[in-house]
Amino acid sequence: MERKEIVHKLTQVFHKTFDTTDLELTDVMTANDVDNWDSLTHMVLIGDVEKEFGIKFKLKELNKMNTVGHLIDMVADKTGRLQVQN
Amino acid sequence: MFYENIRSRLVTIASRFPDRNAFCINETFYTYAELWDLIGKIRMQLGEFNVENNRIGLVANDDLHTYASIFAAWLEGMAYVPLHPKQPLERNLEVISQAELLFVLDSGSERVFDSVSTVDTKACESLAPKTDEISVGDDALAYILFTSGSTGKPKGVPITRGNLATFMEVFLATDIVLDETDRCLQCFDLTFDISVQCYLTPLLHGACVYSVPHDQIKFTYVYGLLDDHELTFGVLAPSMVHHLRPYFEEIHLEKLKYCLLVAEATPIDLLQEWFKHIPNARVFNFYGPTEATIYCVSYEAKRHEKLKEANGLLAIGRPFEGTDAVILDENSQIAGRGVKGEMYVSGNQVTTGYWKNPEKNAEAFKILEFKGKSRIFYKTGDLCMEDVDGDILYYGRLDYQVKIQGYRIELGEIEFHAREAIGGKNAVAFVYEAEGGSKQIALALETVSFDEKKVIGFLNTKLPAYMLPSKMFNVEKFPLNTSDKVDRKQIAALLTV
């Protein structure tokens, strides 16, 4: 999946999770930049991302994930691997 | 007692292990020498102010200055009152006003409270450390924590140095052995009293405290600390373990020697699974209201023995040495073994009463005749029962016991079966007022989706008809309050009648 497409889909997931329509994702964005992004909504967000892309994160990966850019990279990596497998 | 159990011990540790790490904060290590030096400098800074009432506010940042400030305050004969930078300003101002604070210590860059003088602890670096001793008795306060009050106003729980020193002595007598090689988790906000045990116990043994920065996602960061730094001592709320559950197969914490489950009731099915991922840890369930200093009742859950439980919740066991726990029945008489009732606790760990709140004190404390003496007991609000062996079983908050259509119902029992119906996920039952004013039961399930007919069908085989919920709904993730406990009020507010 193209990075642009991933960002587009992720933006929709973020909008749903944080109940907003004007959030623009950037690579350097962190939980501190988004209202209501706390430990709990983070888990809801991860669940929604996993569902949207049909992927599953490992706890170790979540632990190292500090920015939205990193999240995009991981989704790209995982969906890329899925495509290769298919 | 505070002098021997806490002050002297810390001095000895700091001089014995100057080069060992006292803290790991945001992946930076700080030694005991650095901690001790900073304590002395902040003491010097404090000495410049006239803190007449001996109470000082402390903005609970996650840095060495904040922890050093606690000890500096204690060594200067003061009590600290933590203020969480992420809690609403209005609440913090209410705490400042109730505790009549004149000064607030803050290591952060934003000055947030206009009504008090702020002491910037980062500005102490150039000062020479103060080392002389100030003698303070055990009746003086160690801290005041503010817990949420039913009237919406926070209520202060003052804990004396004697209360804290007693706690420390008996806590360690529960068979927990730490030394300077231990690595210990501190994942609780400083506004919650469990944090005191989490930073103080390691520091009194020369061990290292690993804290969780405010801006991190707590459960993944905690796992990172436990795994990457091979922590040996972990104090966790069961809700946090529950959040790790979807990832259990990745978790294998061989180095963990002790796992303490605290702050809320522990579902035994969760613990049975958790055991497999902490193969070498001894597990303890610790119970205690803030009013009785951190914990006052404990139960060791031994992995190869039958676990004691009530409604699927792990037993809380026996009172600490020096604490008396009694259970009063409906007629306010001491209940015998096997009879449920409200638990009351008494002893040197119990606070002298809420901060300037005689009304609340009259409600929450009661003089009882016990073992031939009149003593003050704190009314815990928890429904408990002593079993035949003298271990205390925990049934939930007393207000979970409700009357519906004249029947006495325990919401915990409904939740127990509901959890079973949805494969061990969380469930919260509560009472709501239906149209026409009748009281009915609602059930919230922590799941993405559920089959209502199937759940009701299952509950129907386990519970009498009057205990069946008339409303059910799901919540993807249950909200937690600032103490990491499932927030039942917020969940109840999600119900649409």
CATH number at residue B418: 3.30.300.30
In the listed set B193, B216, B239, which residue is the last one of a domain according to the structure?
Answer: B216
Inter-chain CB proximity B220 and A62 less than 8 Å: yes
Which of B62, B217, B253 to mutate against chain A (most A CBs within 10 Å)? B217
The answer to whether B393 and B265 have CB atoms below 8 angstroms apart is: no
- Is B10 part of a structural domain of the chain? yes
Contacts of A62 in chain B (CB under 8 A): 217, 220
Segment A8-20 mean pLDDT? 91
Contacts of A42 in chain B (CB under 8 A): 217
The answer to whether A1 and A80 have CB atoms below 8 angstroms apart is: yes
In the listed set B189, B216, B243, which residue is the last one of a domain according to the structure?
Answer: B216
Number of CB pairs < 8 Å for A and B?
A: 38
- Is B259 part of a structural domain of the chain? no
List the domains of chain A with CATH numbers. 3-79 (1.10.1200.10)
The H or E element that residue A4 is part of is helix A3-17
Question: For residue B7, what is the DSSP state?
Answer: I
What is the model's pTM?
0.89
Q: Which of B314, B341, B338 is nearest to B326 (CA)?
A: B341
Q: How far is A61 from chain B (nearest CA, A)?
A: 9
Q: DSSP strand E in B109-172: where?
A: 117-120, 141-147, 155-160
| Res B149: pLDDT | 64
Inter-chain CB proximity B479 and A30 less than 8 Å: no
Under the banding of pLDDT at 50, 70 and 90, the label for residue B283 is very high
| Nearest-by-Cβ selection for B477 from A31, A40, A58 | A40
Q: Which of B104, B143, B105 is nearest to B124 (CA)?
A: B105
- Residue B154, pLDDT > 90, answer no
| Nearest-by-Cβ selection for A60 from B221, B250, B480 | B250
Rounded distance between C-alpha atoms, residue B163 and residue B168, angstroms: 9
3-state class of A54 per DSSP? coil
Question: For residue B362, what is the DSSP state?
Answer: H
- Is B97 part of a structural domain of the chain? yes
- Tell me the per-residue pLDDT of B410-463, one tens digit each, with 9 for 90 and over: 898 899 999 999 998 999 999 998 877 778 899 999 999 999 999 999 998 888
Lowest-pLDDT choice from A55-64, B36-45, B93-102, B228-237: A55-64
Question: For residue B317, what is the DSSP state?
Answer: B
Under the banding of pLDDT at 50, 70 and 90, the label for residue B364 is very high
Q: Which of B341, B267, B273 is nearest to B310 (CA)?
A: B267
In the listed set B200, B216, B232, which residue is the last one of a domain according to the structure?
Answer: B216
- Is B66 part of a structural domain of the chain? yes
Question: For residue B3, what is the DSSP state?
Answer: I
- Is B225 part of a structural domain of the chain? no
Rounded distance between C-alpha atoms, residue B259 and residue B276, angstroms: 13
Contacts of A40 in chain B (CB under 8 A): 477, 479-480
- Is B455 part of a structural domain of the chain? yes
| Nearest-by-Cβ selection for A59 from B250, B448, B476 | B250
- Is B348 part of a structural domain of the chain? no
What is the complex's ipTM, to 2 decimals? 0.84
Segment B369-373 mean pLDDT? 91
Q: What is the tally of structural domains in chain B?
A: 2
Residue type, B434: A
Rounded distance between C-alpha atoms, residue B166 and residue B1, angstroms: 8
Segment B223-245 mean pLDDT? 94
Inter-chain CB proximity B219 and A32 less than 8 Å: no
Rounded distance between C-alpha atoms, residue B142 and residue B193, angstroms: 12
> Which range of residues forms the domain containing residue B440?
405-494
- Is B244 part of a structural domain of the chain? no
CATH of the domain at B20: 3.40.50.12780
Cα four-point dihedral sign B120, B121, B127, B133? positive
The answer to whether A34 and A44 have CB atoms below 8 angstroms apart is: no
- DSSP string spanning B189-228? -TTSTHHHHHHHHHHTTT-EEEE--TTS-HHHHHHHHHHH
